[in-house]
Amino acid sequence: MAFYRQLGNIPPKRHTQHRDESGNLYYEELMGEEGFSSDSSLLYHREIPSAIVDATVWELRDQSTTPNHPLKPRHLKLHTLFPESTWNETDVVTGRRLILGNADVRLSYVVAAAPSPLYRNAIGDEMVYIESGEATVETVFGTLEACEGDYVLIPMSTTHRWIPKGDKPLRAYAIEANSHIVPPKRYLSRFGQLLENAPFCERDLHGPTAPMIAEGTDIEVLVKHRTSAGIVGTRMVYPTHPFDVVGWDGCLYPYTFNISDYEPITGRVHQPPPAHQAFEGNNFVICNFVPRKVDYHPLSIPVPYYHSNVDSDEIMFYCGGDYEARKGSGIGQGSISIHPGGHAHGPQPGAYERSIGAEFFDELAVMVDTFRPLELGEGALACEDEAYAWSWAGRGPKQ
């Protein structure tokens, strides 16, 4: 990420002796990306961070996927996946249901009111969007407070846990990468500063406010990782609590970014999807569609033109407002639309003409475009609206 931050108790020179008040050495952990040739942070632990006393299998929830074949657009109703009776027994980590996935990214959804176990994703970064609710996210770097509209970026291999709070359950949309998730290069200077033309800046990214120390022995951490057989889990047991960092500094750490701080890029005529981009990973991008003034050419058509994104699958998660282009399709809060490469897609019938003269769209959606086809997870198969594919024509296949 290249935005430097320093918290807690660190020595004036890295890789030198650093001792507590009793003269005991702290233990350095250099957490770095790309073989220590990219961003990193240096953490100072009270105990040896490598020490484990047990490792057993953690059985993950169903990670299998099914090809989108025959190819068709789809509508998923995520709010039907978690009845209210399940919320108090569900946590943000183990309760996730896989919606879509490929070798680059996996999209999951969960509604949770229970605290999660300690967790570490050793496959890639996670970007978790909070549809509603609030949570404290405790991490080895310190504590984050997350609320509705927040993206929570958890760097790869960061030990953390989710603690929902407040009266509402936490509704979370998890984007799990097989890579790192970063701002687009076109928004950054050659030294890594966000440029003036970027739709957000460093002030909008909120990292931990202070290190945290937790006590305990024989502490379990769930680790998601990859083998030749696919994605698997391991339950590691540490002799002391991994939250024992007294200080750290560097450019690699978790943070929150609220979608309301995203400043939309608009124009006289309709802007293409890259104008809405916020982040990117390997072979995928994340875009924000937020409330905004729309096209102001006197002959503009504010809703999207019909389009064939020939290299991508387009996944839109509808999380607020009233999405003008999808009126009449059954799509609403908590819906996902899947518009795959190989199928031209665009506004529902009537929306094209109806949008003429509009000056403002009150919509909120998170889009993920992938550059390899996505397959359907068990969660998608459990909540599909079978009629959506035929909604532009007004009728389905002949029986």
Please choose, from the candidates 147, 215, 188, 134, the residue with its C-alpha nearest in 3D space to the C-alpha of residue 1: 188
- Distance separating alpha carbons of residues 45 and 181, to the nearest angstrom: 26
Strands (DSSP E) found in 186-343: 217-227, 230-240, 245-250, 255-258, 277-281, 284-289, 292-293, 313-321, 335-339
362 belongs to an annotated ligand binding site = no
CA-to-CA dists, residue 363 to 215, 286, 307, 367, angstroms = 45, 16, 20, 12
Closest among 293, 304, 338, 302 to 318, alpha carbons compared: 338
Determine whether 276 is an active site residue. no
**Residues with Cβ within 8 Å of residue 24, at least 6 apart in sequence:** none
Q: How does DSSP assign 33-84, residue by residue?
A: STTTTS-EEEEEESS-TT--SEEEEE-PSP--EE---S---EEEEGGGSS-G
Instruction: Give the C-alpha separation, 124 to 177, whole Å.
Output: 5
Q: Is 307 annotated as a binding residue?
A: yes
- The rounded distance, in Å, linking the Cα atoms of 27 and 59 is 32
Catalytic residue among 206, 225, 270, 343: 270
The reply to whether 311 sits in an annotated binding site is no
Annotation-wise, does 323 bind a ligand? yes
**To which H or E segment does residue 9 belong?**
none
Collapsing DSSP to helix, strand or coil, 326 comes out as: helix
Annotation: binding site: 307, 313, 323, 345
What residues are designated binding site for homogentisate?
323, 345
Which residues are tagged catalytic? 270
